[in-house]
Amino acid sequence: AASGGPTSIRQVKLDKECELRIEVAETPFRLRLLTGTAEIFGTEIPPEIWLSLPPRLKFAVFTWYGATIEMDGTTETDYTADETPMVSYVNVHAVLEGRRNRAKASPGDSDASQGPRVIVVGPTDSGKSTLSRMLLSWAAKQGWKPTFVDLDIGQGSITIPGCVAATPIEMPIDPVEGIPLEMPLVYFHGHPTPSANVDFYKVLVKELAQTLEKQFSGNAESRAAGMVINTMGWIDGVGYDLLLHAIDAFSASVVLVLGQEKLCSMLKDVLKNKPNVDVVKLQKSGGVVSRNPKVRQRARGGRIREYFYGLANDLSPHSNIANFSDLSIYRIGGGPQAPRSALPIGAEPTADPTRLVPVNINRDLLHLVLAVSYAKEPEQIISSNVAGFIYITDIDIQRRKITYLAPCHGELPGKYLIVGSLTWVET
């Protein structure tokens, strides 16, 4: 680790195919490329220009041909690694590139015109999000507009946690800003883990896949570019079933398995009858940093904060007030079960996981993050995507008024709101 001090500027020379791995501390840190070429997770960094990296960011500057990097500021750690799996990753990219070109050359044919649908799987902290990002950025650099699908509802990188989402990637992903949020397609589950309602999670994954399928059918360019699907690190038991469900729902054609022999052989075995699906094992990078539950929790809060306030506190959300009667809030699944007396003799009361349960407005809603559905009727809520999110800051029972934070001023884009268990304490 570098120590601080008045002059903390230093240079690091990287040989070809090496990377500089950095964990940013809580204090300001910046770097720039002095000579050669280098990239951060698949996105080239411009020469000479200082890049400010946010606190706690963990990343690597990789060079294919050699580079000199200048750093300014203290870090938690920084070290150079000459062993990385980058060559195997870029080889995957080259294969995908070939498939995209083939797809582009067969516009009329509905099967052949479909580019690769890649799903990245592996245990927690195996580098799935990072590999997804590199594959997307390399494709975008070559002019493709691949679709990024994020099924990781614990640590989503498209929008806030608790969602499954998709968005086209039109440019290499900015190492600091992340995924641009123009018009993502977002479905709200409302919990940071699917286990809170597994069936509802599956419904949303299916909806997202079907909506993308429809979009692709009218857009040859997106279709040929294909998709990269990032998944959760939950790979045992129900988590494994959810992976199989996702592979099926999105008709994945390439399954990239990071860092786990056992998962790879299980998937190879169950998918062996599907000649159109390739299961490929890839090495995990030694640079991937493990995150404990506390760090993950903190990252979730950070994502919600970023939604309302922007990465650099550059957004100003609005505090709005609505009457109880203006909003209809629903919870999905669970809720009060039918009383035994209302059921046929012998039937056991079960909670329908996708039942719509109206929620009474009371102070239990304080500090919860709700999604604003595009649904026009309550029946459409389960299958509708969401426009955005609000955060409840006050409930006045006497005057029947709700105060909430929204990214913009004025009326909400819909009156139906979905609530789960996603909370946030503004700090």
Structure tokens at 230: 């990032």
User: Smallest distance from the beta carbon of 181 to ligand ATP, in angstroms?
Assistant: 19
121/204 with CB nearer ligand ATP: 121
155/384 with CB nearer ligand ATP: 155
In DSSP terms, 320 is beta-bridged to 404
194/333 with CB nearer ligand ATP: 194
Structure tokens at 199: 């069936």
User: Smallest distance from the beta carbon of 149 to ligand ATP, in angstroms?
Assistant: 14
**220-236 CB burial, b ≥16 within 10 A, e <16:** bebbbbbbbbbbbbbbe
97/125 with CB nearer ligand ATP: 125
List alpha helices for 125-173, DSSP H. 128-141
136 and 97 Cβ atoms separated by less than 8 Å: no
User: Smallest distance from the beta carbon of 233 to ligand ATP, in angstroms?
Assistant: 3
User: Smallest distance from the beta carbon of 210 to ligand ATP, in angstroms?
Assistant: 24
Instruction: Report the residue count for the chain.
Output: 427
Q: Is the dihedral of CA 395, 396, 401, 407 positive or negative?
A: negative
Rule CB under 6 A: which residues touch ligand ATP? Answer: 19, 21, 58-60, 122, 124-130, 152, 155, 233, 285, 287-289
CA dist 187 and 388 (Å) reads 10
21/303 with CB nearer ligand ATP: 21
282/368 with CB nearer ligand ATP: 282
User: Smallest distance from the beta carbon of 399 to ligand ATP, in angstroms?
Assistant: 42
38/361 with CB nearer ligand ATP: 38
Longest dimension (CA), the chain: 80
CA dist 284 and 259 (Å) reads 5
Structure tokens at 267: 């998937």
User: Smallest distance from the beta carbon of 58 to ligand ATP, in angstroms?
Assistant: 4
205/332 with CB nearer ligand ATP: 205
CA dist 419 and 370 (Å) reads 5
Taking alpha carbons only, the member of 78, 59, 68, 62 closest to residue 32 is 68
Q: What H or E segment, with its residue span, contains residue 61?
A: strand 58-63
User: Smallest distance from the beta carbon of 148 to ligand ATP, in angstroms?
Assistant: 13
Residue nearest ligand ATP, Cβ-based:
287
User: Smallest distance from the beta carbon of 85 to ligand ATP, in angstroms?
Assistant: 9
Q: Please, which residues have CB within 8 angstroms of residue 411's CB and are 6 or more apart in sequence?
A: none
CA dist 362 and 401 (Å) reads 10
